[in-house]
Amino acid sequence: MTARLTDQDWLTARSTRAVIAALEAVGGAGCARFVGGCVRNAVIGQPVGDIDIATTLKPEDTERAIRAAGLKAVPTGMAHGTVTAVADRMPFEITTLRRDVSTDGRNATVAFTDDWAEDAARRDFRLNALYADADGRVFDPTGEGLADAAAGRIVFVGDPATRITEDYLRILRFFRFRAWHGRGEPDAAALAACAVLAPGMTRLSAERVFKELMKLLEAPDPRSAIAAMATASVLSRILPEGSLSPVFDAMVRQTPDPVLRLMALLPSDERGVRDAAARLRFPNSTRDRLAFAALAAPGISLSMNDAEVRAAVYRHGARTVVDALLRRWAEAPGGTADAERLLGLISSWPVPLMPVGGKELARLGVEPGPETGRILTAFEDAWVADDFPATGHAERLKALLTAPRG
């Protein structure tokens, strides 16, 4: 199976041509090829993001070639053969062809080579071991990468167990690529190897596990990949608090937001959310968003009236209430009309500011101190309970001043 990349703006861009020309000026024609995601996505008709280049040049020669062409060279990983070139503000990660010498299950010691097949043999999946030259001709050293890309097959290069024990992150990458590019049934040998070797994921950093999980959940439809993770007992290892349920299925259909999809995998309680956040080291913003939604959830339902919705938004914030409401909707997909009405109300209601404060109480003779806080709290509670009336604030304050405590 052969292919040639056509109609690829990134391939013919001035910045791309400048980088390739710089490398070939030192290494000769054919010393550099595009590799990995940019080739794979171009082949299957998906958008191309990062542009990676493989080269027979040694890292120091790559750096010298880039600088000689007047481009910026950043030695981002010289020990592993990587130099980043910047042309027209566009970064290109350039890596010398490599073979693994040893690995501890996450980090590898490499030796440089000029053998394209040897470089392909150390890559993770066959559809990622595709190369293309400056003219767009695609090279498929494994002989199966193009066919896999066309069929949506995620298959390890060579023996799955060998690839995984070289880097246990490849277990999570298998499911991530399954979510983004896979079709049909998952490769049986790959799935079996992931299940057997899943305990090795303890070598991975929590931050990296979280990042891979979120990339997976960003896929247009990650449901089959998450189901495969559950089948292989990988999901329970990285997210023991979580479970696969119809709530997750409904949430995927409702929103592309990976945080909300993660919420649908987690229990609807603050403690469970915070336990998962601590173990996987969620970013603070993600942890707080999920925890606040779980905290607000008991008071949120699809049957709320308008006043109850406004009170919840005032107390918890619009995003928290929307998140909790989407959880309730996922739990009861039949409530679409109610959910859409409430979401519309939230988006259109401007949250009012507390209409009185310490200055108003001071005018009534209340000295600053605990009494001020008590009265303002009582005022706010009554104002919210009455659905935020716009008038009558002075009378309400006076009534609170004369009312007996308790």
Same domain, 121 and 193: no
Same domain, 369 and 282: no
Distance between CA atoms of 216 and 256, rounded to whole angstroms?
A: 11
Which positions of the chain have pLDDT values less than 70? 1, 102, 104-108, 403-406
Same domain, 110 and 77: yes
Same domain, 135 and 15: yes
In a domain, 222, yes or no: yes
In a domain, 207, yes or no: yes
In a domain, 134, yes or no: yes
| Measured torsion, CA atoms of residues 198, 236, 232, 37, in degrees rounded to the nearest 10 | -70
Same domain, 367 and 335: no
Number of folded domains that form the chain: 4
In a domain, 43, yes or no: yes
Please identify, among 108, 124, 151, the residue that sits at the C-terminal boundary of a domain: 151
Same domain, 170 and 124: no
The pLDDT value given to residue 1: 61
Residue 217: CATH number of its domain: 1.10.3090.10
Residue 68: CATH number of its domain: 3.30.460.10
In a domain, 246, yes or no: no
In a domain, 189, yes or no: yes
Please identify, among 351, 374, 392, the residue that sits at the C-terminal boundary of a domain: 351
The pLDDT value given to residue 235: 96
Same domain, 110 and 174: no
In a domain, 365, yes or no: yes
Domain that holds residue 135: 1-151
Same domain, 121 and 9: yes
Same domain, 99 and 226: no
In a domain, 74, yes or no: yes
3-state secondary structure the chain: CCCECCCCHHHHCHHHHHHHHHHHHHHCCCCEEEECHHHHHHHHCCCCCCEEEEECCCHHHHHHHHHHCCCEEEEEEHHHCEEEEEECCEEEEEEECEEEEEECECCEEEEECCCHHHHHHCCCEHHHCCEECCCCEEECCCCCHHHHHHHCCCCECCCHHHHHHHECHHHHHHHHHHHHHCCCCCCHHHHHHHHHHHHHHHHCCHHHHHHHHHHHHCCCCCHHHHHHHHHCCCHHHHCCCCCCCHHHHHHHHHCCCHHHHHHHHCCCCHHHHHHHHHHHCCCHHHHHHHHHHHHHHHHCCCCCCHHHHHHHHHHHCHHHHHHHHHHHHHHCHHHHHHHHHHHHHHHHCCCCCCCCCHHHHHHCCCCCCHHHHHHHHHHHHHHHHCCCCCCCHHHHHHHHHHCCCC
Instruction: Give per-residue pLDDT as tens, 30-84.
Output: 999 999 999 999 999 999 989 999 999 999 999 999 999 999 999 988 888 999 9
Same domain, 6 and 143: yes
Same domain, 232 and 281: no
The pLDDT value given to residue 108: 66
Same domain, 135 and 171: no
